[in-house]
Amino acid sequence: MYKSAIRTGLAILFSANLLQVHAQQLDSLKKIGPQRYSFSTKQLKAPAMLIIAGIASNGKGEEAIKNEVEEQRNALVPKFHTTIDNYLQFSPIVAAYALDAAGVKSKTDIANRSMILLKGELGMLGTVFLVKSLTHTLRPDGSTYNSFPSGHTAQAFAAATFLSQEYKDRYPWMPYAAYGVASSVGFLRMANNRHFISDVLVGAGIGILSMKASYWTHQYKFGRKKERLDKKIVF
C-alpha cells in the first residue's frame, strides 16, 4: 500500500510536468525574440492537475495518501537531511540571468523579463502565504503550523516556468531540465520531512500558475517605445 501511494504521488508530479513541457512545446512558434503571450486554457491543465491531486491527497485519516507516503519516508530514510533544496529552488532564476550575462539572449528583454519575474514572484508568495495562513497545517516533523502548501516547491516551479519560457525555443531540452530541478526540490522537501506530498503538489501548481499569469498579463511597456509587438503567441 505504501509503495502504491508513493508511486501514485510521483506519477502525478511527473505526468503533470511532462504535460506542462509538452504544452509549452506545442505553443511555441520556434521564434527567438520579444513577443506577447496570450491566455490559453490548455496551459491550465498541468497546474490544475497538480493542485487537484494535492487537495485530494490531503486527507486527515491514517489511510490518506499523504500520511502513507510520510510513513514510508520515516521507515526508509528517517534521518535524511540536506539543505541543498534551500538553494535549488532559486537555481532556474540564476541560470536564466547567467545565460543572458554570458551572451545567450533570452526571449524577453531584461527590463520586461525582470518585471515579469517580480510580478510572478509576488503572486506566488502572496498565494502561498494566504493559503498557509488559512489552512494552518502542522508540518510532518511537528515543528510549525505552516506546512500547506510548500513554499520551496512553489518557488522552484515558478522559477522553472520562468527559465523554460525564456529559453525553451533556443534550447528545446530546457523545460525538462528546469522542471526536473523543480521536481527534485519537491522530493527533497518530503525527504527532509518538512512537507507532505499534498503540500508539494499544490505548491508546484501554484508556482507554475503564478508565473504563467504574470506572462499573460504583462503589457511590455518597459523600454519598448520604438518597438511594435504585433504578433501574439500562446503561452
The rounded distance, in Å, linking the Cα atoms of 161 and 50 is: 15
The domain locations on the chain are 2-234
Contacts 24+ apart (CB under 8 A), 2-8: 2/68, 2/69, 2/71, 2/72, 2/75, 3/72, 5/65, 5/68, 5/69, 5/72, 6/68, 6/69, 6/72, 8/65
Of 27, 49, 12, which is closest to residue 209 (Cα–Cα)?
Answer: 49
Three-class SS of residue 38? strand
Count Cα neighbours of 131 within 13 Å in the Cβ-side half-sphere.
19
Mean of pLDDT values over 65-91: 96
Quote the distance between the C-alpha of residue 195 and its chain's center. Answer: 16
Of 175, 141, 146, which is closest to residue 160 (Cα–Cα)?
Answer: 175
Q: 196-231 burial string, b = 16+ CB within 10 Å, else e? A: bbbbbbbbbbbbbbbbbbbbbebebeeeeeeeeeee
Cell numbers at 111, concatenated: 527590463
Instruction: Indicate the pTM of the whole model.
Output: 0.85
pLDDT, one tens digit per residue, over 7-45 is 555 555 655 565 555 555 545 444 444 556 677 788 899
pLDDT, one tens digit per residue, over 119-144 is 999 999 999 999 999 999 999 999 99
Run of H or E residues at 199? helix 197-217
Task: Provide the residue type at 132 as one letter.
Answer: K
Q: Report the percent of the chain where pLDDT is more than 70.
A: 78
pLDDT, one tens digit per residue, over 164-215 is 999 999 999 999 999 999 999 999 999 999 999 999 999 999 999 999 999 9
158 touches 120 (CB < 8 A)? yes
How far apart, in Å, do the first and last CA atoms of the chain sit? 39
